Structure 1
């Protein structure tokens, strides 16, 4: 069961449509045969159809008009070519974009011709959309260190473009999946200044997920009118408390990308400064990004459970984030959750080695799920609890670890998943 339980927020309504929920955005996804072209044992004969029934591996998201755009990228020193190209394009346009091309099966990373291939893909898509190459963004995911074949993309471009549709979000969301078992998309609508605005997004990610910044590949679109500067501010602030608080396996990807495009077609007065309208937009963006974060965590490679660690009472938000992430990243804790074992000592151990200021003798820990809540630690020491009740709580697929470390104002949440046998199986033969 990979669906998450969405939190309901006043004034915001969940809707269908993903990256196509906002006015003026189209998308498409199809199979072009990237892996087949890479496979030396089964080389492409050049005649495979882009309309193949195999899982899509190429997608395009396009806006009807030019958008203000912002993005955040991996902090890994090894950066994929698409990251470098997208960064250069955003710098060249001053935060403008009208299209986003993405592919799975090949990360186009650590390749001598990587940037050349990434730029070529942008050129191909831009020519179809009638825009400049630098007005395209690109993201790629898959195997690192294998040459990216451009020929399948070239052959599929006509069909990819002609198939763009205002309801093409699902095809696009599936095309960016790698070891993901489910597509990840969400959208909301809300009002700003009497105008109905929409924000929608899609993401992919199952393994090689760890801060900072653990976004894998994410595309977010909105018809809200907001300046590129305020868009970047909102995105940067929310990444800190969503994607950067996510960890599946402790490995930080080389290609992590999260981009937001705003076309302004909702007709609201452009948001150019902080205030009521900005806060409303930022809350909508938080809803999208926090939900995708939880989707990524719950679909971690081999995972059976979504783990959420809520920390309160910290000195400040930064310390709370550090503590919450420390728990979520603990392999021993993750294994205990897989076994539905209320080994709370592993939680306290992870809290204890967090690089944050607090009094360990004031730490309080509770474990909860929809089956109830148990108190396992108070003032840094264990308290009696029913192992039978604990097992019942931990057999659910969404587990909450609630930690209080004092009486400060700092609070934060981090997300992850359990560590299972299947994680090793998946990564033992990832390239096959």
Structure 2
């Protein structure tokens, strides 16, 4: 059984929202340009300005922002954090709409779905970059620009380790298209969630690797169906034809895959870091590391200051806090993300001891611009096979 949701993310570009709403803000007075040299401020000077502002509003794609809020307010008494936990898809649309309308918006955004963030929000001036000078030297260039990222998150294949104590029951993605896994692969509909569309897009971009994995799995060269352009899209078509279960959110994936007491549970694509909730939720989630050609994707969790920030100093102070302190684990600001399955971008922050390394995991790191150029076609293709 498959849940059918026909909302195509790529079919309604943010440019339409910006165009439609521009008139709403046309009569608003232009804001004075911010000429502050933020990089020249000392940390103490930034704190002083932020305390004068007294508040900061953040839109974040993770519920863990509540822990960041509490830690930040403890570190900087007198600065109130107003946090909204919403999906990246909704977050991006809201930021674009509020910017176009000239209405009140967040001061800072913590967001995934880098292909849209970089090519639309950043390109359209909704977000502006800020790399905290304190940590710039410990960040590789790809995590400083075009927006700073404090970690890599994932969408990868997960399984139930209680039911499969000897390791992943899947060693090759193409196995998921076979009768053994019919109706037993769960994922969020890629046309509902941007990070899952990024996953689907990466499968297409890595078509050569997908074709090689097919031949490795079956001993035969892959033959594409008529109208299917590449091996990644063929995999998606075959996966859907094998009754992949499409749902609306990752909690549903996690519960279906991870719930204990199942004799033959499904597998699913979700966030490796969600394994942190195993004890609280009664799950037995584990990551399927080393699956050929890859278990999924790794992508940046990015931080941007809004161009219209009412509290620009506090926004930058919160961005600095999210990057972690000078300790080896990142301290209170990074603690919610210091778990197996989240990969620190700073070279001076150690990986959690129980984490599978990125190399062992084998996840593909996405290229936001390449993904942005391809994902509209992938979204359209998926609508033809659902």
TM-score grouping bracket, smaller chain normalisation? under 0.3
Q: TM-score, normalised by structure 1?
A: 0.23
Bigger fraction of residues in strand:
1
Name which structure has the greater RCO, CA cutoff 8 Å, separation 6+: 2
Bigger fraction of residues in helix:
2
